[in-house]
Amino acid sequence: MVSDTEPRRSQTFHVVNLGCKVNRVESDDFTAALLARGGEAVDEESADLVIVNTCTVTGEAEKKTRKAVRGALRANDRARVIVTGCAAAISPEVFEAMDARVQVVPKGSMMGLLAPEGSSFEPHGAAPLLRVGDEFPTRVGIKVQDGCNNACTYCIVHVARGRAWSRPADEIVSEAVRLAQAGVREIVLTGINLGSYAFEGMTLAGLLRRLLEATDDGVRFRISSVEPRDVHDDLIELMARSDGRICRHLHLPLQSGSPKVLKEMARPYKAAYFEDLVDRLYEAMPMLSLSTDVIVGFPGETEEDFQATVSMAEHCRFSKMHIFRYSMREGTPAACRADQVDPAVKAERAKRIESVAQRLRDEDLARRAGTVELALVETNGVATTESYHEVRVSEDACVGELTEFRL
């Protein structure tokens, strides 16, 4: 059995990742640390150690997290199960009560626990180990920021992650340079509230300038989810003149197109602001690709509110939409409301807007017909274009390379 304080050097391990792109980067850090320690990544049933990196953004995510931990315990009757992440931060006692083999470890303590001997890991920094190879995604993420100072009424992540903080710019640039030297061709900047990045007066745009200067034209950067109010003119201008080195794609969470619902969600922008921002983005970058998140069935959402979301989606011409049915998360203001939307209504609205999302995605691809974009070759003959469309390429295409693709 694994020690409570230090995993064995030669152990086998399995990492279960749940939730957002930041969790994905952190889980990859755990894998990199264990590989550097001489560990071997195996399936859940064969592992000495199972790490479950949890999510708690919604009630449904919480259920999936508990199911994943129980599944790990059932699949393997001897492994030590480390539970970390947002759900573990909110309700550690729930997971500790599941089995004596479960150990809840705060996210900030994980790298100290898993680090190879003689290495130096900052509690909140990324591991100084390259997440490059068959065990890792081709598009490599760098966590540049964590925490959130917003308090949306449906979300508890700001409680689990704490106040917003930003990594030192020098540390981020050094990591990016090392990844580029190792052959990584697309680096994705991630954060819980990425657009709030601020280190010694440097904004996200300033960080991107430094990253462009420190790497050559063979590397491009992608901005993951960024809050609408954090997309300022300097960032728009930098993206527009970067000639694709900063992917002309943004993920802007909308959540709702209804002014009333946005206000009740405590989202830090108004519907009119979002619409104006999108118009300015398309003016600066006509071939920009925009993806988004939408919640249907928020408490009190009427058919009129829902139609406002559909209208906003059509105006914004989203190339991809992640549709979520509102799921009550205990401990949030929205979960206490008496005007919960009937599950059947939520399901019906989700189905309708998913149809809209598919139509908009098809229309975005049609607009790009005949144009050429650089696509990052991933696995099994699949590549990801700058505009974040998956396309088929030759099975012989070199994984990890950027190649021109005519849409």
Token readout for 212 is 């462009």
- Whether 87 shows a pLDDT value over 70: the answer reads yes
Q: How would you label 148-169 residue by residue, b for 16+ Cβ within 10 Å and e otherwise?
A: bebebbbbbbbebbbebbbbeb
Nearest to 197 by CA among 215, 159, 223, 222: 223
Mean pLDDT of 51-59: 90
Q: Residue 406, exposed/middle/buried by CB under 10 A (0-12, 13-18, 19+)? A: exposed
**Radius of gyration of the chain measured on its C-alpha atoms:** 21
**Span 116-173, pLDDT tens digits:** 554 443 433 444 567 777 768 788 999 999 999 999 999 998 888 999 999 999 999 9
Integer Cα distance of 287 and 56 in angstroms:
35
Helix 169-181 to helix 204-214 angle (10° resolution) is 40
pLDDT number for residue 250: 98
Residue with tokens 């003119």: 233
Q: Residue 214, exposed/middle/buried by CB under 10 A (0-12, 13-18, 19+)? A: middle
Map 145-175 to HEC letters.
EECCCCCCCCCCHHHHHCCCEECCHHHHHHH
How many CB atoms are closer than 10 A to CB 303? Answer: 9
- Whether 8 shows a pLDDT value over 50: the answer reads no
pLDDT number for residue 38: 86
Mean pLDDT of 94-101: 94
- Chain center to CA of 399: 22
**Span 241-274, pLDDT tens digits:** 999 999 999 999 999 999 999 999 999 999 999 9
The share of the chain scoring above pLDDT 90, in percent, equals 80
Nearest to 190 by CA among 157, 153, 147, 144: 144
- Whether 347 shows a pLDDT value over 90: the answer reads yes
pLDDT number for residue 6: 52
The mean of the pLDDT values for the chain is 91
Q: Are 132 and 110 in contact (CB under 8 A)?
A: no
Mean pLDDT of 363-370: 96
Poorest-pLDDT segment among 9-13, 220-224, 231-235: 9-13
According to DSSP, residue 63 is labeled H
Residues in the chain, overall count? 407
One-letter amino acid of 133: G
Q: What DSSP string describes 232-248?
A: -HHHHHHHHTTTTSB-S
**Span 38-52, pLDDT tens digits:** 889 999 999 999 999
Integer Cα distance of 183 and 327 in angstroms:
41
